[in-house]
Amino acid sequence: MWRADVFTLFPAMFPGPLGLSLSGEGLAKGIWSLEPHDIRDHGLGRHRAVDDTPAGGGAGMVMRADVMAASLDAVLAPDDMRPRLLTSPRGKPLTQGRVRELVAGPGVVVVCTRFEGLDERVIEARGLEEVSIGDYILSGGEIAAITLLDACVRLLPGIMGKALSGEDESFEGGLLEYPHYTRPRDFEGRAIPEVLVNGDHKKIAAWREAEALRITEERRPDLRRR
């Protein structure tokens, strides 16, 4: 079973959308597991504080290293070799290649922070790998964690009806995906490209490759450069 443990101040956000559709069916079948853990269980004092003012001054609050370490250590065994991921806008971009690496392992640990972020010392001490889902800021790491987990879970064996569904799509070959069409053959004066209905599979494959190249050049030239 592929195991996911999520550390968060809002455990009620999980499974959220991960409990529906294909990922939810996978949970029910035991293909993967999801355990949210409340960081505040290890908060300090009467109010179970998890944050404090930033050293050196500045706006906002910073999540404490000792609280996060206690939360992680209470759940994770020393021999748990799963990647420990911290959702962070300063992390390395999450790519389809990295997702496939995560899927090939036993699962993941995902840490979700709030406020201005997490004390750098616990990131270093507990070997947290910072991962970003895009160049924008969210109110917390939970939505990013759900995104990361969804990207992984859909590729687990037994989740999707057809294994090829996860192979012939955007980013898998370094390109964006080609356009898709279905019935009706004519929609508001727009017809399905003739090449897709003539039955010549070589021409169809060539058209799809050309369209993938065209769309990638137009929308994500950075992918082509890489």
Q: What is the pLDDT of residue 169?
A: 60
Count of beta carbons in the 10 Å neighbourhood of residue 51: 21
- One-letter amino acid of 196: L
CA distances from residue 141 to 33, 67, 96, 204 in whole angstroms, order as listed: 19, 17, 19, 42
Cα(103)–Cα(18) distance, integer angstroms = 16
Q: What is the pLDDT of residue 182?
A: 97
Q: What is the pLDDT of residue 224?
A: 82
Cα(80)–Cα(8) distance, integer angstroms = 19
Q: What is the pLDDT of residue 226?
A: 73
Question: Which parts of the chain register pLDDT below 50?
Answer: 164
Cα(78)–Cα(72) distance, integer angstroms = 11
Whole-angstrom distance between the N-terminal and C-terminal Cα of the chain?
34
Q: What is the pLDDT of residue 165?
A: 54
Q: Report all structural domains of the chain as residue ranges with CATH numbers, in order of start.
A: 2-153 (3.40.1280.10), 168-225 (1.10.1270.20)
Query: What are the pLDDT digits (tens) for 162-178?
Result: 654 556 566 667 899 99
